[in-house]
A and B are shown apart, each in its own frame.
Chain A
Amino acid sequence: MIRGLLSVFVFFSIIFFPWPFTAVLVLISAFFIPSLSLAAGLFADTLYYTPHADFLPLFTLYGALVTIVVLFVRSRLKTGSMRG
Protein backbone atom coordinates (compact mmCIF):
# COMPACT_ATOMS: atom_id res chain seq x y z
CA MET A 1 0.00 0.00 0.00
CA ILE A 2 2.75 2.41 0.94
CA ARG A 3 4.51 1.69 -2.32
CA GLY A 4 1.41 2.59 -4.29
CA LEU A 5 0.96 5.84 -2.38
CA LEU A 6 4.61 6.73 -2.76
CA SER A 7 4.54 6.07 -6.49
CA VAL A 8 1.45 8.17 -7.05
CA PHE A 9 2.76 10.94 -4.85
CA VAL A 10 6.13 11.00 -6.63
CA PHE A 11 4.55 11.35 -10.06
CA PHE A 12 2.10 13.88 -8.68
CA SER A 13 5.00 15.79 -7.14
CA ILE A 14 6.89 15.97 -10.42
CA ILE A 15 4.06 17.98 -11.89
CA PHE A 16 2.85 20.00 -8.95
CA PHE A 17 5.73 20.52 -6.53
CA PRO A 18 9.14 22.17 -6.81
CA TRP A 19 11.91 19.90 -7.94
CA PRO A 20 13.92 19.94 -4.67
CA PHE A 21 10.93 18.56 -2.82
CA THR A 22 10.48 15.93 -5.50
CA ALA A 23 14.15 15.00 -5.38
CA VAL A 24 14.00 14.40 -1.64
CA LEU A 25 10.81 12.44 -2.01
CA VAL A 26 12.35 10.27 -4.74
CA LEU A 27 15.44 9.60 -2.66
CA ILE A 28 13.31 8.48 0.27
CA SER A 29 10.92 6.38 -1.78
CA ALA A 30 13.74 4.77 -3.73
CA PHE A 31 14.49 2.59 -0.71
CA PHE A 32 11.00 1.13 -1.00
CA ILE A 33 10.80 1.02 -4.81
CA PRO A 34 14.30 1.16 -6.34
CA SER A 35 13.13 1.69 -9.88
CA LEU A 36 10.89 4.56 -8.87
CA SER A 37 13.79 7.03 -9.14
CA LEU A 38 14.49 5.90 -12.68
CA ALA A 39 10.80 6.03 -13.54
CA ALA A 40 10.51 9.47 -12.00
CA GLY A 41 13.50 10.66 -13.99
CA LEU A 42 11.98 9.32 -17.16
CA PHE A 43 8.67 10.94 -16.36
CA ALA A 44 10.31 14.28 -15.59
CA ASP A 45 12.27 14.26 -18.81
CA THR A 46 9.17 13.25 -20.69
CA LEU A 47 7.46 16.33 -19.38
CA TYR A 48 10.25 18.84 -19.30
CA TYR A 49 13.12 17.73 -21.51
CA THR A 50 13.67 19.88 -24.56
CA PRO A 51 16.20 18.34 -26.96
CA HIS A 52 17.36 21.64 -28.41
CA ALA A 53 17.93 23.29 -25.08
CA ASP A 54 19.39 20.47 -22.99
CA PHE A 55 22.26 18.28 -24.06
CA LEU A 56 21.30 15.27 -21.98
CA PRO A 57 18.13 14.06 -20.24
CA LEU A 58 19.63 14.69 -16.85
CA PHE A 59 16.61 13.63 -14.79
CA THR A 60 16.69 10.20 -16.35
CA LEU A 61 20.42 9.88 -15.80
CA TYR A 62 20.19 11.00 -12.19
CA GLY A 63 17.25 8.66 -11.64
CA ALA A 64 19.22 5.77 -13.08
CA LEU A 65 22.18 6.62 -10.89
CA VAL A 66 20.00 6.68 -7.77
CA THR A 67 18.43 3.37 -8.73
CA ILE A 68 21.84 1.76 -9.13
CA VAL A 69 23.07 3.14 -5.80
CA VAL A 70 19.93 2.05 -3.97
CA LEU A 71 20.09 -1.42 -5.46
CA PHE A 72 23.70 -1.73 -4.40
CA VAL A 73 22.96 -0.56 -0.86
CA ARG A 74 19.97 -2.84 -0.54
CA SER A 75 21.93 -5.82 -1.81
CA ARG A 76 24.60 -5.13 0.81
CA LEU A 77 22.03 -4.80 3.58
CA LYS A 78 19.98 -7.83 2.65
CA THR A 79 22.77 -10.28 2.09
CA GLY A 80 23.79 -10.25 5.73
CA SER A 81 23.62 -13.38 7.86
CA MET A 82 21.65 -14.13 11.00
CA ARG A 83 22.86 -16.44 13.70
CA GLY A 84 20.16 -18.58 15.32
Chain B
Amino acid sequence: MKRTFLSKRNALFASTGISWNVGVLFFALIVLFVRLLMPNLFWIAFTPLFKSANALSAQSHFFLQHFSDAAALASKNEQLMSENASLASENQALSQKISSISAIKDVSTGILAGVVARPPESPYDTIVIAAGSDNGVSVGMEVFGSGGVPVGVVSTITDNFSRATLFSSPNMNTLGWVGRNSMTLSIVGAGAGSMNATVSRSADIVVGDIVFVPGPGMLPIGTVTRVDSDSSSPSVALRIQPILNPFSLSWVLVRDTGMTFSSATSSPL
Protein backbone atom coordinates (compact mmCIF):
# COMPACT_ATOMS: atom_id res chain seq x y z
CA MET B 1 0.00 0.00 0.00
CA LYS B 2 1.29 3.38 -0.87
CA ARG B 3 0.15 6.45 0.97
CA THR B 4 1.26 9.97 0.83
CA PHE B 5 2.87 11.53 3.85
CA LEU B 6 2.06 15.23 4.17
CA SER B 7 1.65 15.40 0.44
CA LYS B 8 2.03 18.83 -1.13
CA ARG B 9 1.52 20.62 2.16
CA ASN B 10 3.43 23.83 2.42
CA ALA B 11 5.30 23.95 5.69
CA LEU B 12 4.53 27.63 6.05
CA PHE B 13 0.88 26.76 6.42
CA ALA B 14 1.20 23.52 8.35
CA SER B 15 -1.21 23.44 11.22
CA THR B 16 1.49 22.89 13.82
CA GLY B 17 3.75 25.69 12.65
CA ILE B 18 1.39 28.22 11.21
CA SER B 19 0.97 30.11 14.42
CA TRP B 20 4.71 30.57 14.92
CA ASN B 21 5.35 31.39 11.28
CA VAL B 22 2.66 34.02 11.27
CA GLY B 23 3.54 35.14 14.79
CA VAL B 24 7.19 35.91 14.10
CA LEU B 25 6.34 37.70 10.87
CA PHE B 26 3.64 39.65 12.64
CA PHE B 27 6.06 40.66 15.38
CA ALA B 28 8.68 41.80 12.87
CA LEU B 29 6.14 43.80 10.91
CA ILE B 30 4.77 45.42 14.07
CA VAL B 31 8.25 46.51 15.04
CA LEU B 32 8.83 47.82 11.53
CA PHE B 33 5.65 49.81 11.57
CA VAL B 34 6.41 51.22 14.95
CA ARG B 35 9.73 52.44 13.69
CA LEU B 36 8.23 53.95 10.56
CA LEU B 37 5.19 55.50 12.17
CA MET B 38 6.40 56.30 15.66
CA PRO B 39 10.16 56.58 15.50
CA ASN B 40 10.47 58.39 18.85
CA LEU B 41 8.56 55.67 20.64
CA PHE B 42 10.62 53.07 18.84
CA TRP B 43 13.94 54.52 19.93
CA ILE B 44 12.71 55.19 23.44
CA ALA B 45 11.68 51.57 23.66
CA PHE B 46 14.83 50.14 22.15
CA THR B 47 17.43 52.45 23.67
CA PRO B 48 17.68 50.44 26.91
CA LEU B 49 18.07 47.29 24.86
CA PHE B 50 20.88 48.80 22.82
CA LYS B 51 22.58 50.05 25.96
CA SER B 52 22.34 46.58 27.44
CA ALA B 53 23.66 45.16 24.21
CA ASN B 54 26.60 47.55 24.28
CA ALA B 55 27.36 46.63 27.87
CA LEU B 56 27.13 42.95 27.07
CA SER B 57 29.34 43.43 24.03
CA ALA B 58 31.92 45.25 26.11
CA GLN B 59 31.82 42.55 28.74
CA SER B 60 32.10 39.77 26.19
CA HIS B 61 34.90 41.63 24.46
CA PHE B 62 36.70 41.92 27.79
CA PHE B 63 36.02 38.26 28.48
CA LEU B 64 37.31 37.16 25.09
CA GLN B 65 40.25 39.55 25.35
CA HIS B 66 41.14 37.82 28.59
CA PHE B 67 41.36 34.53 26.73
CA SER B 68 43.40 36.21 24.01
CA ASP B 69 45.77 37.60 26.64
CA ALA B 70 45.97 34.19 28.27
CA ALA B 71 46.90 32.61 24.96
CA ALA B 72 49.55 35.26 24.38
CA LEU B 73 50.84 34.77 27.91
CA ALA B 74 50.96 31.02 27.44
CA SER B 75 52.88 31.48 24.22
CA LYS B 76 55.25 33.91 25.90
CA ASN B 77 55.62 31.55 28.83
CA GLU B 78 56.50 28.69 26.51
CA GLN B 79 59.05 30.86 24.73
CA LEU B 80 60.58 31.94 28.02
CA MET B 81 60.72 28.38 29.26
CA SER B 82 62.56 27.38 26.12
CA GLU B 83 64.99 30.27 26.54
CA ASN B 84 65.38 29.39 30.20
CA ALA B 85 66.26 25.80 29.36
CA SER B 86 68.77 27.01 26.80
CA LEU B 87 70.31 29.46 29.27
CA ALA B 88 70.41 26.82 31.98
CA SER B 89 72.26 24.50 29.64
CA GLU B 90 74.66 27.29 28.67
CA ASN B 91 75.11 28.20 32.32
CA GLN B 92 75.88 24.60 33.19
CA ALA B 93 78.44 24.41 30.39
CA LEU B 94 80.04 27.67 31.54
CA SER B 95 80.08 26.53 35.16
CA GLN B 96 81.75 23.31 34.12
CA LYS B 97 84.27 25.29 32.11
CA ILE B 98 84.94 27.68 34.99
CA SER B 99 85.40 24.85 37.47
CA SER B 100 87.74 23.06 35.11
CA ILE B 101 89.69 26.21 34.40
CA SER B 102 89.83 27.31 38.03
CA ALA B 103 91.15 23.90 39.02
CA ILE B 104 93.93 24.38 36.52
CA LYS B 105 94.52 28.05 37.14
CA ASP B 106 94.99 27.45 40.83
CA VAL B 107 98.44 26.11 40.11
CA SER B 108 100.05 28.89 38.18
CA THR B 109 99.79 30.83 35.02
CA GLY B 110 100.35 29.35 31.61
CA ILE B 111 98.63 28.77 28.33
CA LEU B 112 95.17 27.48 28.84
CA ALA B 113 94.03 25.15 26.09
CA GLY B 114 91.07 22.95 25.48
CA VAL B 115 91.63 19.31 24.75
CA VAL B 116 90.51 18.61 21.20
CA ALA B 117 91.13 14.89 21.16
CA ARG B 118 91.99 12.47 23.86
CA PRO B 119 92.30 8.73 24.02
CA PRO B 120 90.80 6.87 22.32
CA GLU B 121 90.01 9.55 19.68
CA SER B 122 93.65 10.46 19.44
CA PRO B 123 96.42 7.87 19.13
CA TYR B 124 96.64 6.32 22.51
CA ASP B 125 98.58 8.10 25.22
CA THR B 126 98.61 11.35 23.32
CA ILE B 127 96.24 14.29 23.44
CA VAL B 128 95.59 17.04 20.92
CA ILE B 129 95.12 20.47 22.43
CA ALA B 130 93.76 23.63 20.86
CA ALA B 131 96.84 25.80 21.25
CA GLY B 132 99.81 25.96 18.98
CA SER B 133 102.79 28.07 18.13
CA ASP B 134 100.56 31.08 17.55
CA ASN B 135 99.51 30.81 21.18
CA GLY B 136 103.06 30.53 22.41
CA VAL B 137 103.24 26.79 22.77
CA SER B 138 106.57 25.19 21.96
CA VAL B 139 107.90 21.68 21.93
CA GLY B 140 108.97 20.48 25.36
CA MET B 141 106.47 22.48 27.36
CA GLU B 142 104.77 20.53 30.07
CA VAL B 143 101.03 19.90 30.09
CA PHE B 144 99.11 20.03 33.35
CA GLY B 145 95.63 18.82 34.11
CA SER B 146 93.23 19.64 36.91
CA GLY B 147 94.91 20.31 40.20
CA GLY B 148 98.22 21.02 38.54
CA VAL B 149 98.90 17.37 37.87
CA PRO B 150 101.41 16.94 35.06
CA VAL B 151 100.11 14.67 32.35
CA GLY B 152 102.61 14.92 29.52
CA VAL B 153 104.89 16.95 27.34
CA VAL B 154 104.23 18.82 24.13
CA SER B 155 105.79 16.73 21.38
CA THR B 156 104.62 18.34 18.13
CA ILE B 157 103.00 21.63 17.32
CA THR B 158 101.28 23.42 14.50
CA ASP B 159 100.14 27.01 14.33
CA ASN B 160 96.97 26.41 16.27
CA PHE B 161 97.18 22.92 17.67
CA SER B 162 99.64 20.82 19.59
CA ARG B 163 100.02 17.22 20.46
CA ALA B 164 101.18 16.25 23.88
CA THR B 165 102.62 12.88 24.68
CA LEU B 166 101.43 11.55 27.99
CA PHE B 167 103.83 10.15 30.53
CA SER B 168 102.20 6.80 29.95
CA SER B 169 103.22 6.70 26.30
CA PRO B 170 105.44 3.67 25.58
CA ASN B 171 108.28 5.84 24.32
CA MET B 172 108.20 8.19 27.28
CA ASN B 173 110.95 8.04 29.84
CA THR B 174 110.70 10.41 32.77
CA LEU B 175 112.80 10.92 35.83
CA GLY B 176 110.94 11.07 39.11
CA TRP B 177 110.68 10.06 42.74
CA VAL B 178 108.66 7.56 44.62
CA GLY B 179 107.89 6.70 48.21
CA ARG B 180 108.34 8.39 51.52
CA ASN B 181 112.08 8.58 51.00
CA SER B 182 111.75 10.14 47.57
CA MET B 183 113.67 7.36 45.90
CA THR B 184 114.80 8.39 42.43
CA LEU B 185 113.48 6.28 39.62
CA SER B 186 113.05 6.25 35.88
CA ILE B 187 109.40 6.15 34.86
CA VAL B 188 108.73 4.38 31.59
CA GLY B 189 105.43 4.61 29.81
CA ALA B 190 103.71 1.29 29.43
CA GLY B 191 100.86 2.38 27.24
CA ALA B 192 97.15 2.20 27.96
CA GLY B 193 97.51 4.96 30.53
CA SER B 194 99.84 3.09 32.83
CA MET B 195 103.52 3.47 33.65
CA ASN B 196 106.25 1.21 34.89
CA ALA B 197 109.37 1.77 36.91
CA THR B 198 112.12 -0.25 38.43
CA VAL B 199 113.58 0.49 41.82
CA SER B 200 115.80 -1.23 44.29
CA ARG B 201 114.20 -3.77 46.54
CA SER B 202 115.72 -1.98 49.50
CA ALA B 203 113.67 1.13 48.73
CA ASP B 204 110.75 -0.63 50.37
CA ILE B 205 108.11 0.65 47.96
CA VAL B 206 104.59 -0.49 48.67
CA VAL B 207 101.29 -0.25 46.86
CA GLY B 208 99.80 3.19 47.23
CA ASP B 209 103.01 5.17 47.25
CA ILE B 210 102.87 8.37 45.28
CA VAL B 211 105.08 8.89 42.25
CA PHE B 212 106.36 12.41 41.61
CA VAL B 213 108.03 14.15 38.75
CA PRO B 214 110.05 17.34 38.82
CA GLY B 215 108.23 20.57 38.18
CA PRO B 216 108.04 23.49 40.49
CA GLY B 217 108.92 21.15 43.32
CA MET B 218 107.61 17.60 43.24
CA LEU B 219 104.43 17.07 41.36
CA PRO B 220 102.46 13.84 41.77
CA ILE B 221 101.63 12.03 38.56
CA GLY B 222 100.53 8.62 39.75
CA THR B 223 100.32 5.97 42.40
CA VAL B 224 101.90 2.58 42.69
CA THR B 225 99.20 0.00 42.11
CA ARG B 226 101.31 -3.13 42.03
CA VAL B 227 104.83 -4.19 43.05
CA ASP B 228 106.26 -7.15 41.13
CA SER B 229 109.28 -8.72 42.73
CA ASP B 230 111.52 -11.61 41.84
CA SER B 231 113.50 -13.20 44.63
CA SER B 232 116.48 -13.63 42.32
CA SER B 233 116.49 -9.93 41.34
CA PRO B 234 117.80 -7.07 43.52
CA SER B 235 115.09 -4.73 42.13
CA VAL B 236 111.30 -4.66 41.96
CA ALA B 237 109.03 -3.59 39.14
CA LEU B 238 106.38 -0.97 39.91
CA ARG B 239 103.07 -0.63 38.08
CA ILE B 240 101.95 3.00 38.22
CA GLN B 241 98.53 4.37 37.40
CA PRO B 242 98.21 8.08 36.61
CA ILE B 243 96.30 10.26 39.02
CA LEU B 244 94.36 11.90 36.22
CA ASN B 245 92.40 9.77 33.84
CA PRO B 246 93.48 10.84 30.32
CA PHE B 247 89.98 9.97 29.11
CA SER B 248 88.50 12.73 31.22
CA LEU B 249 90.82 15.59 30.32
CA SER B 250 88.92 18.60 28.98
CA TRP B 251 91.17 21.60 29.73
CA VAL B 252 94.88 21.66 30.25
CA LEU B 253 97.49 24.24 31.12
CA VAL B 254 100.64 24.37 29.04
CA ARG B 255 103.72 26.01 30.42
CA ASP B 256 107.46 25.77 30.27
CA THR B 257 108.83 24.28 33.46
CA GLY B 258 112.42 24.29 32.34
CA MET B 259 112.71 20.62 32.99
CA THR B 260 114.48 18.34 30.59
CA PHE B 261 112.95 15.06 29.74
CA SER B 262 115.07 12.28 28.51
CA SER B 263 112.89 11.69 25.51
CA ALA B 264 109.61 12.71 24.04
CA THR B 265 107.58 11.29 21.28
CA SER B 266 107.78 13.32 18.14
CA SER B 267 105.54 12.48 15.27
CA PRO B 268 103.56 14.61 12.84
CA LEU B 269 99.98 15.45 13.70
Count of chain B residues near A, Cβ 8 A: 32
Chain A residues contacting B50 (CB-CB under 8 Å) are: 15
Could you tell me if B17 and A11 are in contact, using CB atoms closer than 8 angstroms?
Answer: no
Could you tell me if A7 and B49 are in contact, using CB atoms closer than 8 angstroms?
Answer: no
Answer whether residue A20 sits at the interface, using C-beta atoms and an 8 A cutoff: no
Partner of B1, one of A33, A45, A83: A83
Q: C-beta contact mask, A1-25 vs B, less than 8 Å → 1, else 0?
A: 0011001000100011000000000
Distance in Å: Cβ of B83 to nearest Cβ of chain A: 38
Q: Give complex CA distance A4, B17 in Å.
A: 10
Chain B residues contacting A11 (CB-CB under 8 Å) are: 24, 27
Answer whether residue B22 sits at the interface, using C-beta atoms and an 8 A cutoff: yes
Closest to B32 in A: A46
Chain B residues contacting A15 (CB-CB under 8 Å) are: 46, 49-50, 53
Answer whether residue A66 sits at the interface, using C-beta atoms and an 8 A cutoff: no
Chain B residues contacting A16 (CB-CB under 8 Å) are: 52-53, 56-57
Q: Contacts A7-B23, A15-B53, A39-B25 known; A79 to B2 CB distance under 8 Å?
A: no
Distance in Å: Cβ of B115 to nearest Cβ of chain A: 66
B residues with CB within 8 A of A:
1-12, 17, 20-25, 27-29, 31-32, 35, 46, 49-50, 52-53, 56-57
